Amino acid sequence: MLWGGTPFFEEGSTLEQEFLNACVSLQVTAKKHRTYWYCTGEDLYRHPFHYLSVQSEGNLVIPEFMDQSTGCGYRDQRIICRTGITQRHKVTVTTQLAQRLNRLEFVELSFPRSPRIYLITRRVKNLLTTEPLSGCQFIPCLDESKVYIESQKNIHHLCPQLESEAQYFQLRVTITTAHFPFGGAGIIRKQCPQCGTVQLAFLSKGVTFQRQDLADTDFQYYNGYRTDNIGEFHIDADITIVSARVQRLLIEHKIRGLFRYLTDPPIRHGVVEIR
Ligand SMILES: [Zn+2]
């Protein structure tokens, strides 16, 4: 299969062999990059952990509900380091965002990437709270057309009235993995000189965890990698992992915001690899 300019084959298939033969006859060198496994149907849920991948929404600007004063703030010609920014207020859902949420039911904001802001409809919240799930918190969102007092806006303020009225909720992942996953050898291309957060790096291997690196929760996230040449490093994005139970709920209820994990090669659902 040709996808996004990269030929993608099932390993050992006749098609792969024909492609390699054609390369030889054209005197073109073919290099295999990586082998992915794939699972179908029930097989998918045998893997205990999955990457959460949903449609992203919004602009690359820091929303007003974030507090930028807690961030690193290092500035060069092109970018400002946002590591360490925190959420101050509850999310306000605009008309445009509400339309997207009504259609998709589950989205993440494009920015910031750490902390990652997930938004869901009340239906998805009800779905995810039929049985208690761990590692997450649901915070009611504010409605653009209403007026709130300062304490109601505060992210830490619990308000039963908002809880019962809200149509949309923020899903907050509250637990980190016990350790970063392993990615073989690493090459760092861009790093903040002030806080050391890595903005661009390459890893020689597919990312793998050891079972004890992962928490026994339904939601957790990580924001760094372990390597065998440069040790550990932090990245400027949170990557969310969910349990098979959550992945199954989202898939079986056909939540439209679920998005393919990778486009090249085409992988619909990303399974967390455990060594
Ligand atoms: Zn920084």
> What is the tens place of the pLDDT at every residue in 150-164?
999 999 999 899 999
Angle at the Cα of 240 (from 238 to 243), degrees rounded to 5? 160
Task: Report how far ligand 1's centroid is from the alpha carbon of 209 (Å).
Answer: 26
CA distances from 241 to 31, 110, 174, 215 (A): 31, 18, 12, 10
Task: Report how far ligand 1's centroid is from the alpha carbon of 8 (Å).
Answer: 37
Q: Give the position of tokens 């007003």.
A: 64
Task: Report how far ligand 1's centroid is from the alpha carbon of 191 (Å).
Answer: 8
* Mean of all residue pLDDT scores within the chain: 89
Residue 2: which pLDDT band, with cuts at 50, 70 and 90?
very low
Instruction: Give the distance between the most distant pair of CA atoms in the chain.
Output: 72
Q: How many CA atoms lie within 13 A of 214 on its CB side?
A: 23
Task: Report how far ligand 1's centroid is from the alpha carbon of 122 (Å).
Answer: 36
- For range 254-275, the mean pLDDT: 79
> What is the tens place of the pLDDT at every residue in 23-73?
888 888 877 765 555 555 668 888 999 999 999 998 878 899 999 999 999
Task: Report how far ligand 1's centroid is from the alpha carbon of 237 (Å).
Answer: 13
Write the burial class of residue 217 (CB in 10 Å: 0-12 exposed, 13-18 middle, 19+ buried): buried
- For range 167-193, the mean pLDDT: 95
Residues 186-208 as b/e (b if ≥16 CB within 10 A, e otherwise) read beeeebbeeeebbeebebeeebe
pLDDT of 3 higher than 70: no
Residue 98: which pLDDT band, with cuts at 50, 70 and 90?
very high
Model pLDDT, residue 260 = 75
Residue 4: which pLDDT band, with cuts at 50, 70 and 90?
very low
Measured CA to CA, the distance from residue 116 to residue 240 in angstroms comes to: 8
Residues with CB under 5 A from ligand 1 (ion): 72, 74, 81, 83, 192, 194-195, 197
CB atoms within 10 A of CB 179: 15
pLDDT of 275 higher than 80: yes
> What is the tens place of the pLDDT at every residue in 99-138?
999 999 999 999 999 999 999 999 999 999 998 999 999 9
Model pLDDT, residue 201 = 92
- For range 253-267, the mean pLDDT: 77
Task: Report how far ligand 1's centroid is from the alpha carbon of 74 (Å).
Answer: 5
pLDDT higher at 264 or 209: 209
Residue 7: which pLDDT band, with cuts at 50, 70 and 90?
low
Residue 246: which pLDDT band, with cuts at 50, 70 and 90?
very high
Model pLDDT, residue 12 = 80
Task: Report how far ligand 1's centroid is from the alpha carbon of 273 (Å).
Answer: 30
